[in-house]
A and B are shown apart, each in its own frame.
Chain A
Amino acid sequence: MEKLFQRLFPDHLIANPHYRSLARNMLLIIISVSMVPMIVVSSTLYLQFRHSYREKVNDHLSELVLKHKQNIDNFLQERLTDIRLMAARNGYERLKDEVLLKRNLELLQQEYGSVFVDLGVVDADGRQEAYAGPFKLARADYADADWFKQALKHDQVISDVFLGLRGLPHFIVAVHSVENGRPWILRATIDFVYFNNLVDNIRIGSTGMAFILNREGKLQTTPGARPSMSGPPESAVLQGLWIVMSAGTGDVRIVLREDSRGVENIYAGAFLKSGKWLLIYQQSAEDAFADLHWSFMLTTLIMAVGMASIVLMAFTLSRMVVIRTARADEEKKLMNQKMVETGKLASIGELAAGVAHEINNPVAIMVEEAGWMGDLLEETEFQESKNLAEFKRALAQIQTQGRRCKDITHKLLSFARKTAATVQEVQINLLIEDLIALSAQRTKFSMVEVRTELTEGLPMVRVSISELQQVFLNLINNAIDAMGNKGGRLTLSTRAHDGFVVIDVADTGSGIPAANLNRIFDPFFSTKAVGKGAGLGLSICYGIINKLGGRIEVESTVDVGTRFSVYIPAALGD
């Protein structure tokens, strides 16, 4: 986060804790406000969809299993009916005739194909009286066979799958009849392969398979091997299934189970054969819910893209806002500075004027008193005093310093004065030329080369000539002072700019250090030696130009030079 911040936001902004927290807060708010609803909506929709989709899949499986359960039940029931019919029609005695039995088997095989493998007539003791079929099972003894015991007790029986005497998996349907008071049993072997196919043909998707379990959890059919199948069902799972399915309700019961390899399977089961067998349909959950999986992936992808764009947008937006804010702050700061500057100068001006005025009178009195003492010293009685010269010198000094005070107070007052002196329309170029003539003596003395670049046809300005002379004489004097003894070049140029007449006073002097640049207009700010300048020149210039509705701009590079640009509003052409 921090790194991303640094890469996305300009260094100088992010270094500022104010902007950093602004950016961070905005980022977090945007991200949370947009992401939370998106996540809530997406996950709610997804969960709802998953729920109904699962329901749909379950319903589908239930129906499928139910249908097949009925099919299989019907199949078994029909086979029983077949042989019951045969037993009833022929009777024990006739069926004992192996030729007739064989004839009957052929009839059945004609009707149903290879469903019936063989037929046998078994007497009450379990001995097979007659047999028709491919195996040599005549006279076989079934007295101990499970199915035989069942058949004696019940009307009819369908056995579990077993290997039996022939050594092949098969199961038996048998009907119990009574003739002449003796029970006898007609049994038929159902082709295991045929039956197996009947069950195994129930297939959906790539992992679906069906099989039948008995009460002990043993497979009654062999699920056909298929390339995509996860392998034969595990016996541990199968045993558990019987219990789970028994506990369920309804025709079809559905459970989810994980096998030892961690594959989650969905099992749909229905009891067959009056609850003795369990038809199970198994499919891996992943396969069954493949569409769900897809929609989950799609949702996740859309969410990821959405989140990425939200984050991107949040960054871009907060970056933009922070940059804008910073710019606005900067402008505000500049403006405040300017206002403070103006306000400061105005209040300093008033203060200075007040002080100047209050000081002026005492100074005047002191000067007059000193003058009076000087007058008195002229009297003859003092002429002999040995300190006469010293007295005179001291009084002269008082007068000189008094005059200095007067100069300062007068300058201060002119800095602060508000109303204009005689204002008239002036062509600035003429004024500049006059000024150059005025200061020619000084510039020559200081070895300063004066250049002018005056633009012709400038608008007139409404000013007081004397005030403007004061401004430019101050600027020119400063420029000459800045160039010192070495001399240099003073360039005075005039131009029009955006409703203003601009006069540039540029020198090649020592320049003003950046630290001093914003103080140069302050009253009493001076870098000249004590007594050389009161530090009021530029303050007065500022006051005068400000009053005219103009401004003064400074550009300065140390050791290269300084340029003052004085902006005076052009007079409207009336």
Chain B
Amino acid sequence: MSLAKVLFVDDEVPFVEALTKRLTKRDLDIIPAYRGDEALKKLAEQTAVEVVILDVKMPGMDGIETLREMKKKFPLIEVIMLTGHATVESAIEGMKLGAFDYLMKPCEIDQLVSKVKAAAAKKRQHEEKIMQARLKEITLRRV
């Protein structure tokens, strides 16, 4: 069983491939996507995805836009922004839109893995809370 199921979105194919291999080796289940709309489509298909690693700068639908859509459709999914820019503002904007964290490219693999783990943990915690809330609701209803 993998540590987490991750959707990795970046327009740089070699980068995605290399990182996919490395993350897979670190027990992460990686689904690659190379465009914003493709990522949204894959998310719709693969409901088990917990964390999305999202490049900010992409042709077509860019990272921020994709993030906005994702959060609209799948509010519980945690997103880690990857930015080539040292621009703090896009990262800040990402955070405001509900991203979990951001990292600058190229990043330390261990750092990335730990962020993914943290994000996954947060998501599971969220889900747990929701579950408990539901359980509570159900038990209360029974009473």
List residues of A whose CB falls within 8 A of some B CB: 357, 360-361, 363-365, 367-369, 371-372, 375, 402-403, 406, 410-411, 413-414, 417, 419, 421
Contacts and interface: CB of A to CB of B under 8 A. Distances in A.
B105 A361 contact: yes
A367 B85 contact: no
B86 A361 contact: no
Interface in B26-67: 57
Nearest to B82: A364
The 4 closest A-B pairs by CB, nearest first: A364-B106, A368-B18, A367-B106, A413-B86
Interface in B72-100: 84-89
B22 A360 contact: no
Nearest to A361: B12
A564 B106 CA distance: 34
B109 A365 contact: no
Contact of B89 (A360, A363, A421): A421
B105 A371 contact: no
A518 B19 CA distance: 44
A357 B21 CA distance: 24
A372 B22 contact: yes
B12 A365 contact: yes
25 contacts: A357-B57, A357-B85, A360-B105, A361-B105, A363-B106, A364-B12, A365-B18, A367-B106, A368-B22, A368-B106, A369-B14, A369-B18, A371-B18, A371-B22, A372-B18, A375-B25, A406-B104, A406-B105, A410-B86, A410-B104, A413-B85, A413-B86, A413-B87, A417-B87, A421-B89
Contacts of B105: 360-361, 364, 406
Nearest to A375: B25
Given A375-B22, A402-B106, A421-B89, A368 B84 contact: no
A130 to B, nearest CB: 153
Contact of A421 (B21, B84, B85, B88): B88
B109 A371 contact: yes
Contacts of B84: 357, 360-361, 364
B104 to A, nearest CB: 7
Given A372-B25, A403-B106, A417-B87, 14 more contacts: A361-B84, A361-B105, A364-B12, A364-B15, A365-B12, A367-B106, A369-B14, A372-B18, A372-B22, A375-B22, A402-B106, A413-B87, A414-B86, A419-B87
Contacts of B22: 368, 371-372, 375
B24 to A, nearest CB: 10
A148 to B, nearest CB: 144
Contacts of A367: 106
A361 B15 contact: yes
A150 B14 CA distance: 151
A406 B89 contact: no
A472 B40 CA distance: 45
Contacts of A410: 86, 104
B14 A365 contact: yes
Contacts of A411: 86
Contacts of B106: 360, 363-364, 367-368, 402-403, 406
Most A CB within 10 A of own CB, among B14, B21, B84: B84
A411 B105 CA distance: 13
Contacts of B89: 419, 421
B15 to A, nearest CB: 5
Interface string B102-116: 001110010000000
Nearest to B87: A417
A21 B85 CA distance: 56
B58 to A, nearest CB: 11
Contacts of A402: 106
Contacts of B86: 410-411, 413-414, 417
B117 to A, nearest CB: 17
A519 to B, nearest CB: 25
Contacts of A357: 57, 84-85
Nearest to B26: A375
Given A375-B22, A410-B104, A365 B15 contact: yes
Nearest to B25: A375
